[in-house]
């Protein structure tokens, strides 16, 4: 059994939905389909999820929201008209109207319930169209199927473990199951949505629950590329990549799937196949636990801005037991999570996300470090970017870091820091933010041209 998830651009209009159904029906192992809400049809278009957010905001702030509601209806009405399923539009309209007319007792819950209507309506629509064209399909409601979620402190949404057992029953369905992505239910029956792009997570959960042979994630590009195509023309396509490599690259801003979507697939070792709805003949990119081949020494290169370094030095730091523990506990008191920690004999740098390390936190942290740790110096270096080269083949190859560092130095880019993890599958360089794109291009040229 394959689980196939289609993103918003694959469901943006009737033509796209027909393509989705053709892909689905061309392989009888594709038994579970997870859908996003209709996305953009052209670059200045608005995604249905954004229309729904505007609607919820209007209602929450006491406005009628009529204009916003019409915009949502218009999108679904044009799809239903073109697919010739007018009765489906009637039920979508009734369902959305009922949901948004409920009294607002909790703005967060109201927002979640409204946001989920994009995926929910889309799943009903696809199931109706499949049936109309003679293929047995059922809309699967996440509550009925038992997809339970919980919002943790801090707002992160996690799936409750029992959901996997509940959802494994989908294997017994004789019809194609059309499942809305992006949301599930709390134990007390309220809708909870994942963060944006979260239908990827629903697909991965379902793939893990039914022990799918593959989790197909259909989008609008042929492959994952070795570098962001906005930075380099015609970049090298990646045919195979491991979960670990993908995770490292995602960390440095390589966005293909939702960051959390790989985990359920990774735990059960289910390969993820990124495919293109607009070009189904391309085999796409396989994300696997173990590689079958290497196309290149480096698998991917990525860079992300928005980091800063907290630098400390103290003579004989290496002899002082518990020094780092004390720093970490000061940072933990401020709720700061640490990204990296390159260190020397008498110095240590802690890399943080700039947005988390606010000026107030910086002031308190510096004050405590100076007072409690008696350091010789402490300073903060802001506006850093992290640039990473990632590849499992690098682990057994001598000189990759040297090649990368030489290329960067020849390009006149100063390295603020270097870090290589023990797994040797990635090397991270810290550069000034203004050099981020240039550094990525320089490294791409070194390893791929």
Q: How far apart are CA 394 and CA 287, in angstroms?
A: 18
Please choose, out of 17-25, 68-76, 191-199, 361-369, the segment that lies near ligand ASP by the rule CB under 6 A.
Answer: 191-199
Smallest distance, Å, CB 431 to ligand ASP? Answer: 31
Contacts of 228 (CB under 8 A, 6+ apart): 235, 253, 254, 302, 440
Nearer to ligand ASP by Cβ, of 130 and 261: the residue is 261
Q: Which helix (H) or strand (E) holds 131?
A: helix 117-132
Q: Indicate whether 156 belongs to the interface with ligand ASP (CB under 6 A).
A: no
Beta bridge partners of 59: none
Cβ-contact 185, 147 below 8 angstroms = yes
Q: Indicate whether 180 belongs to the interface with ligand ASP (CB under 6 A).
A: no
Smallest distance, Å, CB 36 to ligand ASP? Answer: 3
Please choose, out of 160-168, 190-198, 268-276, 377-385, the segment that lies near ligand ASP by the rule CB under 6 A.
Answer: 190-198
Q: At what angle do helices 436-448 and 400-410 cross, to 10 degrees?
A: 130
Nearer to ligand ASP by Cβ, of 102 and 196: the residue is 196
Smallest distance, Å, CB 196 to ligand ASP? Answer: 4
| Among positions 10, 131, 199, 242, the unique one binding ligand ASP when judged by CB under 6 A | 199
Contacts of 236 (CB under 8 A, 6+ apart): 225, 226, 227, 295, 296, 448
Q: At what angle do helices 48-60 and 86-100 cross, to 10 degrees?
A: 30
Contacts of 424 (CB under 8 A, 6+ apart): 394, 395
Nearer to ligand ASP by Cβ, of 53 and 375: the residue is 53
Please choose, out of 193-201, 209-217, 300-308, 394-402, the segment that lies near ligand ASP by the rule CB under 6 A.
Answer: 193-201
Q: Please list every residue from 309 through 368 that binds ligand ASP, using CB under 6 A.
A: none
| Among positions 4, 6, 8, 145, the unique one binding ligand ASP when judged by CB under 6 A | 8
Contacts of 256 (CB under 8 A, 6+ apart): 219, 224, 246, 250, 274
Question: Regarding beta strands 149-151 and 347-353, do their DSSP bridges make them parallel or antiparallel, or are they unpaired?
Answer: unpaired
CB burial of residue 151 (10 Å; 0-12, 13-18, 19+): middle
Tokens of 232: 């380099």
Torsion of CA 169, 170, 173, 176, to 10 degrees: 180
Q: Indicate whether 196 belongs to the interface with ligand ASP (CB under 6 A).
A: yes
| Among positions 129, 179, 182, 243, the unique one binding ligand ASP when judged by CB under 6 A | 182
Q: Indicate whether 215 belongs to the interface with ligand ASP (CB under 6 A).
A: no
Please choose, out of 196-204, 263-271, 301-309, 374-382, the segment that lies near ligand ASP by the rule CB under 6 A.
Answer: 196-204
| Among positions 37, 55, 261, 327, the unique one binding ligand ASP when judged by CB under 6 A | 37
Smallest distance, Å, CB 119 to ligand ASP? Answer: 6
Q: Please list every residue from 115 through 144 that binds ligand ASP, using CB under 6 A.
A: 118
- The 3-state DSSP class for residue 47 equals coil
The site that binds ligand ASP (CB under 6 A) totals a number of residues, namely 13
Q: Indicate whether 49 belongs to the interface with ligand ASP (CB under 6 A).
A: yes
Smallest distance, Å, CB 184 to ligand ASP? Answer: 13
Beta bridge partners of 4: 33, 216
Residue 378-397 contact track with ligand ASP, rule CB under 6 A, x = bound: --------------------
Q: Which helix (H) or strand (E) holds 205?
A: helix 199-209
Interface positions with ligand ASP (CB under 6 A): 8, 36-37, 47, 49, 118, 181-182, 196-200
């Amino acid at each position: 059994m394959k689980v196939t998830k289609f993103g918003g651009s694959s469901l943006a209009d009737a033509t796209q939905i027909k393509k989705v159904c053709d892909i689905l029906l061309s392989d009888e192992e594709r038994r579970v389909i997870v859908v996003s809400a209709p996305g953009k049809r052209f670059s200045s278009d608005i995604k249905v999820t954004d229309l729904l957010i505007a609607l919820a905001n209007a209602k929450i702030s006491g406005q009628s929201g009529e204009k916003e509601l019409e915009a949502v209806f218009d999108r679904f009405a044009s799809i239903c008209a073109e697919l010739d399923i007018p009765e489906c539009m009637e039920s979508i309209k009734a369902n959305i109207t009922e949901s948004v007319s409920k009294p607002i007792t909790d703005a967060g819950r109201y927002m979640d319930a409204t946001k989920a209507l994009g995926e929910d309506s889309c799943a009903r629509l696809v199931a109706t169209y499949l049936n109309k064209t003679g293929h047995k399909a059922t809309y699967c409601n996440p509550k009925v199927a038992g997809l339970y979620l919980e919002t943790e402190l801090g707002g992160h949404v996690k799936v409750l473990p029992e959901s996997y057992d509940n959802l494994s029953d989908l294997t017994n369905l004789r019809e194609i199951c059309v499942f809305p992505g992006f949301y599930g239910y709390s134990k007390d029956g309220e809708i909870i949505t994942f963060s944006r792009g979260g239908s990827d997570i629903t697909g991965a959960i379902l793939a893990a629950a039914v022990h799918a042979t593959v989790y197909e994630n259909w989008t609008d590009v042929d492959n994952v590329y070795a570098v962001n195509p906005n930075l380099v023309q015609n970049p090298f396509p990646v045919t195979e990549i491991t979960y670990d490599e993908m995770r490292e690259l995602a960390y440095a801003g390589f966005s293909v799937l939702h960051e959390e979507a790989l985990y359920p697939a990774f735990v059960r070792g289910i390969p993820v196949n990124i495919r293109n709805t607009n070009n189904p003949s391309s085999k796409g990119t396989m994300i696997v636990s173990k590689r079958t081949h290497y196309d290149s020494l480096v698998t991917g290169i990525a860079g992300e801005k928005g980091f800063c370094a907290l630098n400390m030095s103290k003579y004989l730091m290496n002899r002082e037991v518990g020094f780092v523990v004390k720093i970490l506990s000061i940072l933990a008191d401020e709720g700061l999570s640490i990204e990296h920690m390159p260190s020397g004999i008498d110095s240590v740098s802690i890399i943080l996300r700039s947005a988390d390390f606010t000026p107030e936190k910086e002031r308190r942290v510096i004050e405590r470090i100076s007072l409690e740790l008696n350091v010789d110096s402490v300073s903060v270096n802001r506006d850093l970017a992290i640039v990473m080269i990632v590849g499992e083949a690098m682990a057994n190859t001598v000189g990759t870091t040297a090649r990368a560092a030489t290329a960067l130095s020849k390009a006149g880019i100063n390295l603020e820091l270097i870090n290589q993890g023990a797994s040797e599958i990635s090397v991270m360089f810290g550069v000034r933010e203004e050099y981020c794109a240039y550094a990525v291009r320089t490294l791409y040229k070194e390893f791929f041209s």
